[in-house]
Copies of this chain bind each other. A is one copy, B any other.
């Protein structure tokens, strides 16, 4: 960095953008190599499909003539990849066999980009997006940068959506003349980040009917990023793309090959039921990067064509299932449930969502967090995941990145702090 002779006048968006506080936390392991991170959402390096990927790539010249796999693709993404993606989703037993179509899919730099494009095309500053509570903290950060306000969908003690409370909330918004500000709803149907919950059929149906009763027909986004990482069998609930209850709503389903194939490839997608909205998303993507790496797409496409993706996800699901079991055992054996901590063992994904006693504030800079750092373990403070940044007694732990031994060591350190405070 040479010098900064002048202050730049940033745009409103530029002014609003700030380094997320959580970045400080994520940077700790880089500065102190002894620290074990239960915070980062990385996958397990040892489980990455190196051989599979190298094998696929070595055969691309045979299967993809004319070197096209190293050429630009289109903004929307490879037709065959989109077709295989739609076919695969339609073939899932719980889905309608025509719910997904290649022409409705846009391939993106991770599903995150599709989420950004979708939100950018819908929301002005001051608008509202309905989010689960807790929700994906990077999305909350994105909303903040767009000056869009997240409003949490009320849940009961067990974490299930509470539709009575939700109806009252929508009524309140109506009375405050804010209902028209609501431009979208964002759900995570499968092994949600951070709660690891799957939305039940009743919840999905109840959510749609509560919106309808309030006359709120807005785009609904279902983020299914962790869907394919089921430990045993896939969650039986259909996506919003198959549910009649959602027919009245413009819908966007977000899926990804990033986590269930390889995080290094960064290939996700959106499937959009609304032609005009998809067109806007494609226009925005056209301006922003006019297409995602065609090479990465060609690799995933080939894994799908050769039926090697399904086997890989089963393998990975089982791999992370064992790691979840490992973490669960350490937590249980340490007896932290007796100290008032609660968690549900996840059935898929990479995350444990832990509830501490209300007296424990898990935020950055507070005693619990500082002691964890001191003991050499970090986690994501739960308050980052709530629309209004509270309550303060939750924690997200990730089983993704650490190999077994270190995962055990990290969780022991974590439990030690619980017992020490």
Contacts and interface: CB of A to CB of B under 8 A. Distances in A.
Contacts of A265: 70, 293, 295
Interface residues on A, range: 35 or more
B45 A67 contact: yes
B69 A264 contact: yes
Interface string A128-143: 0000000000100110
User: This chain: how many copies in the complex?
Assistant: 2
Nearest to A288: B116
A393 interface: no
B264 A72 contact: yes
Nearest to A261: B70
A55 to B, nearest CB: 10
A273 interface: yes
Interface string A46-79: 1011100110011001000011111111000000
Given A4-B276, A265-B293, A68 B45 contact: yes
A294 B267 CA distance: 11
A421 interface: no
A6 B274 CA distance: 9
A217 interface: yes
A347 interface: no
Given A6-B248, A120-B11, A124-B12, A17 B283 contact: yes
A287 B54 contact: no
Given A54-B58, A290-B112, A6 B45 contact: no
Interface string A230-257: 0000000000000000011110000000
Contacts of A277: 8, 10
Given A10-B277, A20-B286, A265-B295, 15 more contacts: A5-B217, A7-B276, A8-B277, A11-B122, A11-B127, A13-B120, A48-B67, A49-B70, A50-B61, A50-B70, A71-B263, A71-B264, A262-B295, A264-B298, A266-B289
Shortest 6 CB-CB distances between A and B: which pairs? A14-B121, A70-B264, A17-B283, A142-B287, A264-B295, A48-B70
